[in-house]
Amino acid sequence: MIKRRKSAAKVGLPPGAMIYTGEEKSYPVTIELSEYNAETISHQRDIELEQLKTKPVRGKIQWYRILGVHDVDLLRQLGERLKINTLVLEDIINTNQRPKLEDYEDYLFITFKSISAKNSKEFRIEQISMLLFNDMLITFHEGDSSFVNPMLRRLQQPKSRARQRGADYLFYAILDLAVDHYLAFLEFFEEKYERLEDEVSVHPKTEHVEKIQDLKREWSNTRRAVRPFREAINALFKEEFDQVDESTKMFIRDLNDHMLQVTDSLENQRELVTGLMDTYLTNVSNRMNEIMKVLTIIATLFIPVTFFAGIYGMNFKYMPELGWKYSYPLFWLVVLIVIAGLIAFFKRKKWL
């Protein structure tokens, strides 16, 4: 059965048509605001759309966090209030959107996939979009704001670099946080691969095929998120944007280097994951060969026994050995001697 994707609902619609393509959500979209400068900081939750400032406040940085992108009407009103291009709004609510960076007249737009830990064994992938204005940043989160909690904690420190700099540094810091999560995920992925490789090498089982396929699927999803994000970071580093100060460029250069490290690690892991199935098949084949060797040796040892049993199982009336008192123990003695001789021969040939 083929599962119908929500993206199919957009077929035939004009560009800019706003169709939410993510999972159904029952909770309302909420807006949070952090407003700060070097001296002060304040946080507000459950901001009404009418309270959202259309222009930055002089001397302060505004960071709006839109938690949830499933309320199409609210995002349409937000777009009208801030004069956001409908194509940008379409990309924000399309949770299958490919990561990209676009420069508009009044703001810089980027969308990417965040990979964050759900627990010690699972990670989740969510889409985050950002609009960078002069002295104002708006982030759109597919789920909650837990991904940026480390950034909120850093803003609480009066002497932190984030408090001393503008919205473009906050923009960079969130991208850097995403890259840190990528590196953490790749380490987790490598550990998972090593555990599975040990299992496959020691005792390959049928269920390992499914685990290997799951690992390949995880790698493919990660690659789909990382490669275009790498292109966006590279463009952010190489090109000039009105919203990004020159002093922030050196941090973006470092971010670009880290992103290169992520893509290199990802490509190296592709070879490991691809070779894991070959390792499984090789070990299964070797194990089968060992089993066949043992069965063949057992069958070979019983060939002379079957031969003797066949001879003395015949119904001839005149067989001298049948009337001899020691025929039975002699029969077993000959059988044991032949079997011992075959075992010695196999060991000499190093077949055992």
CATH number assigned to the domain comprising residue 114: 3.30.460.20
Closest CA to 215 of 184, 193, 191: 193
**158 and 95, same structural domain?**
yes
Pairing of strands 136-141, 61-67: parallel
Q: How many CA atoms lie within 13 A of 130 on its CB side?
A: 26
Residues 262, 303: Cα–Cα separation, whole Å: 61
Give a yes or no: residue 329 inside a domain.
yes
Q: What are phi and psi of 325, to 5 degrees?
A: -65, -35
Residue 139 carries which side chain, given as an amino acid letter?
T
The per-residue pLDDT for range 212-225, each reduced to its tens digit, is 888 888 888 888 88
Give a yes or no: residue 91 inside a domain.
yes
State yes or no: pLDDT of 327 exceeds 50: yes
**303 and 275, same structural domain?**
no
**168 and 144, same structural domain?**
yes
The per-residue pLDDT for range 107-124, each reduced to its tens digit, is 999 999 988 766 656 778
This prediction has a pTM of 0.78
Give a yes or no: residue 140 inside a domain.
yes
State yes or no: pLDDT of 295 exceeds 70: yes
Give a yes or no: residue 137 inside a domain.
yes
Give a yes or no: residue 1 inside a domain.
no
**259 and 131, same structural domain?**
yes
Residues 70, 142: Cα–Cα separation, whole Å: 8
Torsion, Cα of 157, 160, 163, 165 (10° steps): 180
For range 269-288, the mean pLDDT: 80
Q: How confident is the model at residue 1 (pLDDT cuts 50, 70, 90)?
A: very low
Give a yes or no: residue 74 inside a domain.
yes
Range in 164-168, 241-245, 305-309 with the lowest mean pLDDT: 305-309
CATH number assigned to the domain comprising residue 312: 1.20.58
pLDDT of 12 reads 54
Give a yes or no: residue 289 inside a domain.
no
76 by Cβ neighbours in 10 Å (0-12 / 13-18 / 19+) ranks as middle
Higher local confidence (pLDDT), 278 or 10? 278
pLDDT of 348 reads 83
**41 and 186, same structural domain?**
yes
**339 and 260, same structural domain?**
no
Residue 213 carries which side chain, given as an amino acid letter?
Q
**170 and 118, same structural domain?**
yes
Domain final residue, candidates 236, 251, 282: 282
Residue span of the structural domain in which 334 resides: 294-348
Residues 64, 45: Cα–Cα separation, whole Å: 10
Domain final residue, candidates 282, 314, 335: 282
Domain final residue, candidates 258, 282, 306: 282
State yes or no: pLDDT of 36 exceeds 60: yes
> Cβ distance 21 to 94 under 8 Å?
yes
| DSSP code of residue 349 | T
pLDDT of 316 reads 72
**319 and 227, same structural domain?**
no
**310 and 264, same structural domain?**
no
**305 and 275, same structural domain?**
no
**144 and 51, same structural domain?**
yes
**120 and 96, same structural domain?**
yes
Give a yes or no: residue 148 inside a domain.
yes
Domain count, the chain: 2
